[in-house]
Amino acid sequence: MGVSVGLGLADFPFSSAKTFWQWVELCEEQGIDSLWQTDRLVSRQPFLECISTMAAIAGATERIKFGMNICSIALRDPLVTAKQCATIDYLSNGRLLPAFGVGSRDAPDWQATGRSFKGVGKKVDEALEIISRLWTEDSVTFDGEHYQYSNAHISPRPVQKRFPLWIGGSSRPAIRRTAQFGTGWQAGRETPAEVAPVITAIKEAAVKLDRSIDHDHFGSGFFYRFGRWNEPCVETRLAAYATRAPLRDLKQSWAVGDAKDILSRLQEFLDAGVYKFVLRPIGDDDADLMAQTQRLADEVIPEAIKLSTRA
């Protein structure tokens, strides 16, 4: 295991489902490690539902892995979610990469469903315990504040014996949650400088719980483009994300330029302890997104894989 590069989608950037499947086929053929879908239930922008998207990709591919980046488990039933993930992993012969977290505080899902973001951490903790136990135990009984189960069990179980459980978030509860339940950690909007202390804190917290996370199971994601910062598609994307994080300089974590610029950003994250990457292409249209993906596969990924030998 070492450096791996996957591709992720936030909203749905393609003009049709047909084009999306052409992109998936390209990723499958060109050696992209994995595909990731952001979870957003309520939005006027088109967003694919992340778990059903994983199931669809499982049936359309044979090699590539896939995951949710990240699934807001506080909005979902843990038994149903555990069963869905186990089913997808079973049918894909062990290619699912489940990733869970609290979700974005500014997501409209909370208000639309009449739920408060405050206090969801406890609910997430309970859900993660239930899910992880359902994947490994013959029978699960749980009496919590938010969930109660009596002799619950699922079959078939995941194909992967140590089923991955990636956790998102960089808050103190997220660090503790990763150390307690996670097999990996996925950063959000953090810069390389911000990622390093979180990784250190997770490792230290895991030791206290007599657990460990593989050194190369720490990940991060960022937008990239072969092009220029002043292109309209880049400026539009920057402006949209600036409203969510007005105090953050996104140019410190995104990568725009040529292959050297993208590899340089990857190296900064690698130096901070990140080995798994979810890159999100910025494009004007279907053809541009396909070209951005192809260039990444041709010019960046072969060199990125070599970085792990020097890490």
Whether the predicted pLDDT of 310 surpasses 60: no
For 152-175, the pLDDT digits (tens) are: 999 999 999 889 999 998 999 999
Alpha helices (H) along 189-231: 192-208
What integer pLDDT is reported at residue 207 of this predicted model? 96
* CATH no. of 4-310: 3.20.20.30
Whether the predicted pLDDT of 309 surpasses 80: no
Whether the predicted pLDDT of 12 surpasses 70: yes
Whether the predicted pLDDT of 28 surpasses 90: yes
Of the candidates 252, 115, 256, the residue with the CA atom closest to the CA atom of residue 194: 252
What integer pLDDT is reported at residue 47 of this predicted model? 95
What integer pLDDT is reported at residue 105 of this predicted model? 81
What integer pLDDT is reported at residue 130 of this predicted model? 97
Mean pLDDT is lowest, of 13-22, 92-101, 116-125, 143-152, for 116-125
What integer pLDDT is reported at residue 117 of this predicted model? 87
- Choice between 280 and 119, residue whose per-residue pLDDT is larger: 280
Burial 249-265 (b: 16+ CB within 10 A, else e): ebeebbbbeebeebbeb
Residue type, 211: R
Average pLDDT of the chain, as a whole number: 93
Place of tokens 């938010």: 146
What integer pLDDT is reported at residue 308 of this predicted model? 65
What integer pLDDT is reported at residue 164 of this predicted model? 93
Strand pairing category for 140-143 and 148-152: antiparallel
Q: 284 vs 14, 179, 288, CA distance in Å?
A: 10, 40, 6
Domains of the chain, by residue range, sit at 4-310
For the record, the structure tokens of 148 come out as: 């109660």
What integer pLDDT is reported at residue 118 of this predicted model? 85
